[in-house]
Amino acid sequence: DVKVTQSSRYLVKRTGEKVFLECVQDMDHENMFWYRQDPGLGLRLIYFSYDVKMKEKGDIPEGYSVSREKKERFSLILESASTNQTSMYLCASSLTGGPTEAFFGQGTRLTVV
Amino acid sequence: GQQVMQIPQYQHVQEGEDFTTYCNSSTTLSNIQWYKQRPGGHPVFLIQLVKSGEVKKQKRLTFQFGEAKKNSSLHITATQTTDVGTYFCAGPRAGGTSYGKLTFGQGTILTVHP
C-alpha cells in the first residue's frame, strides 16, 4: 500500500526560527513535491524534485529551500520562519512518465507565532 | 502561466440533492485529474480523464472531460453526508521538465446538510 509520511501533523514555531518539514515515501517514486494549502487558493507548488539532489522551484519558492539526499526523503526548509508562512504543508509523490496520480501525505499544519 | 479555475468555491446542499463543480483551464490539457479532500484530511486521487469528451462514472459520481480538453466537471447525484469535503481538479503543467507537476484548481468545498 502506497504511503507518504510527513514527520509532524502539527507544528508551532517562533518567528525567525529555522524549520524543517520532513517527508518520506515508500513507493520508490522519482517525483516528490511540496505544496502549500491556504483557504481559497488551492494547492500551490513550492518546490519539486524529480531525482535525488535535483530540485526545481515551483510557484512560490521564496523563503523556502529543499533537500533531497535520498530518493525516499524530501525535506522542506523554512530558513527564517515568518507569520505569513503559517499554513498547511502537503508533501506528495508520483511516478515519472505519463499521466500519473499524486499521492499525498497527511499534511503538516504549521503555525508561526 | 497556466491557470486552472474551479467554480463554485462553496456549495451547500441538502442531502439527496445533486452537486456539480466545474473546472476550466487556460490551456489545453493532456489529461485532468480529480481529487477529494475530506475535512482534516489530505487530497486523495479519484480519477483521471485522458480522452476528449470522455465520461467516466464511479457510483454516484460522473466525471466529464470537455471536447476541447480545456474544461471538466464532476457531478454527484443524490449527495450523501459522506460526500462532504473539498473537490480539486488538477491538470499537468505544459512544457519543460513537467515530470508530473500539476496545477490545481482552487477547489470546491461541499457541505451536505442532513
pLDDT of the residue at A14: 98
pLDDT of the residue at A40: 84
Judging contacts by C-beta atoms under 8 Å, the chain A residues touching residue B44 are 104
pLDDT of the residue at B93: 81
Interface test with A, best of B32, B33, B102 (most A CBs within 10 A): B102
Q: Is the pLDDT reported for residue B5 higher than 60?
A: yes
Interface test with A, best of B38, B56, B101, B108 (most A CBs within 10 A): B101
pLDDT of the residue at B101: 86
Residue A104 has its nearest CB partner, among B6, B42, B92, at B42
pLDDT band at A2 (very low <50, low <70, confident <90, very high): low
Q: Is the pLDDT reported for residue B97 higher than 60?
A: no
Q: Which residues of B26-52 are buried (b: 16+ CB within 10 A; e: fewer)?
A: eeebebbbbbbbeeeebbebbbbbeee
Task: Report DSSP letters for chain A, one per residue.
Answer: ---EEES-SEEEE-TT--EEEEEEESS--SEEEEEEEETTTEEEEEEEEEETTEEEE-S--TTEEEEEEETTEEEEEESS--GGG-EEEEEEEE-SSSS---EE---EEEEE-
Q: Count Cβ–Cβ pairs < 8 Å, chain A vs chain B.
A: 59
**A59 close to A43: Cβ distance less than 8 angstroms:** no
Per-residue pLDDT tens digits for B29-61: 989 999 999 999 999 999 999 999 999 999 999
pLDDT of the residue at B95: 60
The number of C-alpha atoms within 13 Å of B72 and in the hemisphere containing its C-beta is: 37
Per-residue pLDDT tens digits for A50-59: 999 899 999 9
Residues 6+ apart with CB under 8 A from A40: B9, B106
Per-residue pLDDT tens digits for A67-80: 999 999 999 999 99
pLDDT of the residue at B23: 98
pLDDT of the residue at A99: 61
pLDDT of the residue at A98: 60
pLDDT of the residue at B96: 53
pLDDT of the residue at A95: 87
pLDDT of the residue at A33: 96
Judging contacts by C-beta atoms under 8 Å, the chain A residues touching residue B105 are 42
pLDDT of the residue at B100: 78
Q: Is the pLDDT reported for residue B72 higher than 70?
A: yes
